[in-house]
Structure 1
Amino acid sequence: MSHDDHFQTRGSPQNRPEEVGALASQVISVLRDRQAGNKDGARLFVLDHLFRAILVRGAFDAELMLDELRGHRLGLDEIIDLYIPQASCRLGEAWVDDDISFADVTVGALRLQALLSEATGRIRLDLTPDDSRLRVLAILPHNEQHFLGVSVAAAQMRRMGCEVSVSFDETFGALSARLLEDIPDLVLISCARLESLETVAETVQTLRMAPISDPVIALGGAVLADGDIADLQERTGVDVVTKSVKEAIAFCSNSGKVPTPR
């Protein structure tokens, strides 16, 4: 037997085409599964990795986590608009299913907030004061706790060229005082629970009574999944109910609202 014959008999792929074909199919299948996305477009493999990272015991490095996500060829916009909100939704679902504790949810949300801050910090924005910019006030009403959603919405609107300020859990008195100096063209109220709609309605009344130039008031947030849009609008008194900041800004523009002079 020649040396070449001996080599081919023991290990040459030419003599094992079925095994090679099966291995190749398995590799392709694994790669396809890793790249599979959910209905919103997030790659499940990457989302799973992020979800595990925000729940792991020990230290969390937001800068390192962002670099890892970028290593999966994700843009900063994708991370902010898709992966962070999706991971946040998973936290809520896991808590409802009693798979994680409320403490885990709190830690995970804080880590996502740190990741959001790291991601937004790497985006260069033109923050030069400009009278042509739409001024937006994003409000998380009193007793609501989903600060991450408001922060994501604010980041989205800043990237769209808006000047955005955020009100977290302020009393109606504090909100009224804020409106004396912070005059918005659009107010976006974020709400997660039907139980908070009364507070939202009172917030809207506070905005309507303030000596400001009649801003467009929009309602968004997880509450939209539990309530009828027309009913939510009637119960709160907002101008528009939407789950998209783009839709809120478009509604504001179509209503003829222009940036208020300083």
Structure 2
Amino acid sequence: MVKAPMDEEAFDRSEYRKADRQFRAAERELPHDAVSALAREVVRRLAFRMPRTVNKEDLPTATDIDLLCAALLSEKRDSAADQFILAARRDGVPVDAIYLGYVAGAARRLGQMWDNDEISFIDVTLACGKLYRIIRGLRHVIAPGILAERDEWPAMFALVPGETHTLGIEIATDVFRREGWDVDMMVGLGHEMLVDQSDQRNYRAIVLVANSDDMIESLTRLVLAIRISHPLAHLVVAGNILDHHPDILELVGADAMIKDIETAVSALRHVIEDP
């Protein structure tokens, strides 16, 4: 199975490479605890996506999960897990079974191995980075199952958890609403509540606002969590944090930035309308 070629039509190579760069940048620039939190986020967000309507015969066996985890943990063959997943897809395994069976199953197994000290921190961050880039590569084929029951909404503006300066996001929300945009604003929510609230609708764009340099770790973790639950949303960063991190898009894995309120409406419209 693992020797099958990649299915070019099923795989978004641009997002795959972006996800790979993000994890590498995080490992370089963020402290150990922050990188550990990112790995935990991947494991937890994916592990609890349980099969519902998937046929049992399409679900992976324990041996399949062992083989996938071995591929994810391989240091010699960086693309072994990619080949494994795409070969399963090529062999006719339904998308729901890939996502809810193989990916979620591997995430659960990795979490168990980590908790039991069977694998090191370096091992698990390597594996989680690979798992994350795979689901980003498959975002177009897994998105319909994730977003099917959500109503579409133009945008959500959210203050990054821990950020206390609300004036900027309030002004921005008012400006957009005056321009006719029907947007939701989320302020004062913790990480879990914010992700849960964002799951209620299929937002075309999610603007995350942070001002303090101390918010970079929270912002990175939030982007990663939302990427998993919103495969197709455009994620945009705004606020004074842009002044401190010129490379912020690569580090946090966002798509674009809004630098000032004067150009915010046109900038976001461009992001949403860009194919």
TM-score (normalised: structure 1): 0.43
Bigger radius of gyration among the two? 1
Q: Which has the higher contact order (CA 8 A, sep 6+)?
A: 2
